[in-house]
Structure 1
Amino acid sequence: MTFFTKKTVCVACGHEVSGDEIFEGCPKCKERGISANLSTKYDFSGYSQKELKDIYYNAPKAKGLWTHRAFLPIDDDIEPVSIGEGNTPLIHCKSLGKALGLKNLYIKNESQNPTWSYKDRLAAVGVTRAKQEKAVAVTVSSTGNHGAATAAMCAAAGIPCVVFTVAQVPQTMKTLMQSYGASVIVTPTMEDRWILSKKCVKEKNWYPLTGFLNPSIGSNPYGVDGYKTITFEIFDELGELPDYISVPCAHSDGLYGIWKGAKDLVETGITEKQTRMVAAEVYGSLKKSLELHSEGTVAVPTDGWSVSFSIGGGKATHQGYMALKESKGLAHYSSDPETMEMQLLLGRHEGIYAEASSVTSLVVIKKLVDEGKIDPNAKIVAIITSSGLKDPATTAGYLPEVPVIKPEIGSLKEALEKYYHVDLL
């Protein structure tokens, strides 16, 4: 049921755009020097609250994120592309919460998706849309997660997939993308990926699941709606929206999509509770933009390759800024040492090994609580976007050497004390 989907509009000014131009961003904002993505617009008018609640709660049951198909931009006659994404666990982190001084800390563990990241949601909806539009090929520019998710969905859909990436991306990520049958191509620079992708979209009619503009506007607007289902699942499990949802951010597809889900729930009358979005960054573009009340997002200096390479951008997108502005949200950043410390804390307290960029969502919550901007008693959900197994080599650099010992109790005692600082014998 796609009767809610009406049009595609600019996230900033509301200007309507249609056809192939939707991947070029808003032309009106471009004239003002602002790079803004487009977003699907849903119209819930003409339905009573009872009807809307019935559609939400009593829709024909499907697996994973397709449970909420009525709120996704796919025609009724299109069979969804799916490999089991969605329905990831929401975990009350009592041990980690106690260590951080937070009583109601939850994580949404998106590493439990089939390719181990929340990008599976965007890719499932985006590739299904590509199937609907009879795409000859799908292309993405990615440092790993987005490319892996798209490659897997394209494999399931039988659509060729080409991923443009860069040399610095861990070999694990490249192998993962290739394992799903994608043609993975390394370009000299980040910008070169976008140049090639744009040429293929404009000249060869390939279907893009990521943006190809510089500065970036964000990804495919249809795919971004896949992230709305994260919010729906959080709401369904908690019985209400939380006070805050913290999301790792670069191009802010996840931040904006999750916020769209919250808006849908309020606009349909399913809830009256407002949630506030929190952006977790590496360098602080959204934080600076909020401080300056900037109409366009602000570029900030970067210091090279970050352990959080999945979100390591120095300029945020306007869709991220709008999610924070509309939700009265907050933003902060996480340094590499802070990130790696939190990665190990999460593992040791909750038994979850998350990708470095994922745990920035926890770092910034702790910072904002310490600064008095978030009540430590607030109900908070931090999004864990991906698995640490995407880049184990980086984590290994922050861990002790694994000792080789003689099969003797004395040797074991010495190793435990020297390498792990524990006295168990």
Structure 2
Amino acid sequence: MYIQNEAATKLSCLRCGAEYELNDYTTGCPACLEGGYPVSLEVKYSVTPGWTVNAKLRGMKRFADKLPYRTFPTLGEGDTPLIDLPDLAEELGLQGLWLKNEGQNPTGSHKDRMSAQVVARAKATGRTTVVAASSGNAGASLAAYAAAAGLRCVIVTTVGMNPTWDQAVRATGAELVAAYDSKLRWKYMRKMVESEGWYPVTNYIDPPTGSNLWGVQGYKTCGHEIAEAFAGNAPTAIVVPTSRGDLLWGIWRGLQEAKEAGWIDTLPRLYAAEPFGRLSRVLAGDDYRGHFPGDHSSTESIGGSTATFQSLVALRESGGGAVDVAGVDAVDGQNKLARRGLYLESSSAVVWAAVKQLKATGQIGEQDRVVLIGTSNGYKDNYFSKLPEMKIIDAAD
């Protein structure tokens, strides 16, 4: 059985501050939802003068003091490299540029940080089946961690799922269910959660709150690692590929915890890189509960027509913003970074186009030290760009 952190004392709403006992509120804050506002809850921990990192451990387990579960199924997640890119920093005219390569997590994406914690929660509370709506990284990750913990896993995807992801999910013994429409996935999930007791890992209400609150806590460790790597001299800006903001919020809260512990003196601005206007429109005055359709055919992992309150918390509190990156620019970024030795999924490579836009518009300047979050590797991606023809040799060559 996985061990819950004794310092985790309660849950708190990101919007109204209402507090709740530790439990599973899979549709967010009840008070806000009753008023028509879907909002996530977060785990709160007892106040201590400081918290420690266990240097004898590796990966996420080093940060157990600030995770809801001290023990959890592990496949080696966390401790991903922070790669210095001085040549690209010079090209952009920045003081410094780094890429946090989350594609080196066990299943190839940042989702492993969430899966480890949420599967621990499911197992510890006696659940037998975990379920997620996903057509890619989240599904492959959850399937692997559920298999490690001995849980049944069902992934609700869309028809035409990338065959590489299909194989990765089903190889673990997980089950796939496909819908013709992405919103139908949420309806099916809700039905099975309410009628069969399946444990939901991703959102299933519309407008959404975000993913399972216990799992999102795992993303804080990405922020912890960034703060730890910079040894007090924090970066001034971080660019994060964003759909519903689970990782964005997690990094922000992790950085806040690191500052409270004295690891860093200042907090960076966070910028969400998205395929079309969602958060940028909300920051300009639109209601976050609305729908914002747009083309994400080249960046499927950060698609979707909705925004979340947790994303706004991270952007507003950090003083950052949102950048819209067209599909063609995301693919150009994928090519650019690949030719630097960093092969990212196109949805992850949006960070290159985003930082270029931020520099061009003056939101980031020559004094800035910027971290790009490379959320996933490109090895399961459809390569959207036109590649040179391959040379074919014969015996004469």
TM-score tier after normalising by the smaller chain length: over 0.9
Is residue 306 from structure 1 mapped to residue 297 from structure 2 by the alignment? yes
Is residue 10 from structure 1 mapped to residue 13 from structure 2 by the alignment? yes
Whole-angstrom CA distance in 1 between matches of 2:108 and 2:124: 25
One-letter code of the match for 1:192? L
Whole-angstrom CA distance in 1 between matches of 2:393 and 2:196: 60
Whole-angstrom CA distance in 1 between matches of 2:198 and 2:394: 59
User: 2:383 maps to what in 1?
Assistant: 394
| Mapping 1:3-152, distance limit 5 Å | 3-18=6-21, 22-44=25-47, 47-48=48-49, 52=50, 55-57=51-53, 59=54, 61-74=56-69, 79-152=71-144
Q: 1:371 aligns with which of 358, 361, 364?
A: 361
Whole-angstrom CA distance in 1 between matches of 2:314 and 2:161: 29
| Mapping 1:23-422, distance limit 5 Å | 23-44=26-47, 47-48=48-49, 52=50, 55-57=51-53, 59=54, 61-74=56-69, 79-240=71-232, 241-292=234-285, 294=286, 296-303=288-295, 305-349=296-340, 351-391=341-381, 393-395=382-384, 397-405=385-393
One-letter code of the match for 2:345? E
Alignment TM-score, normalising by the size of structure 1: 0.88
Alignment TM-score, normalising by the size of structure 2: 0.94
CA contact (8 A) 1:283 1:333 kept: yes
CA contact (8 A) 2:92 2:359 kept: no
Whole-angstrom CA distance in 1 between matches of 2:383 and 2:62: 37
| Per-residue deviation, residues 325-359 of structure 1 (Å, max 9, x unmatched) | 1111111111111000010100112x011000001
CA contact (8 A) 1:244 1:381 kept: yes
One-letter code of the match for 1:230? C
Number of residue-to-residue matches in the alignment: 393
Whole-angstrom CA distance in 2 between matches of 1:97 and 1:176: 36
Whole-angstrom CA distance in 2 between matches of 1:403 and 1:296: 50
Moved runs in structure 1, 4+ residues, more than 6 A?
A: none
Whole-angstrom CA distance in 2 between matches of 1:3 and 1:272: 28
Q: 249-258 or 194-203, which moves further after superposition? A: 194-203
CA contact (8 A) 1:289 1:297 kept: no
Whole-angstrom CA distance in 1 between matches of 2:176 and 2:89: 40
Unaligned runs of 5+ in 2: none
One-letter code of the match for 1:69? A
C-alpha displacement of 1:247: 0.9
Unaligned runs of 5+ in 1: 410-425
Structure 1 residues 401 and 60: CA distance shift in structure 2, 3 A: closer
CA contact (8 A) 2:231 2:263 kept: no
RMSD of Structure 2 on Structure 1 (CA)? 1.9
Larger Rg: 1
C-alpha displacement of 1:60: 6.1
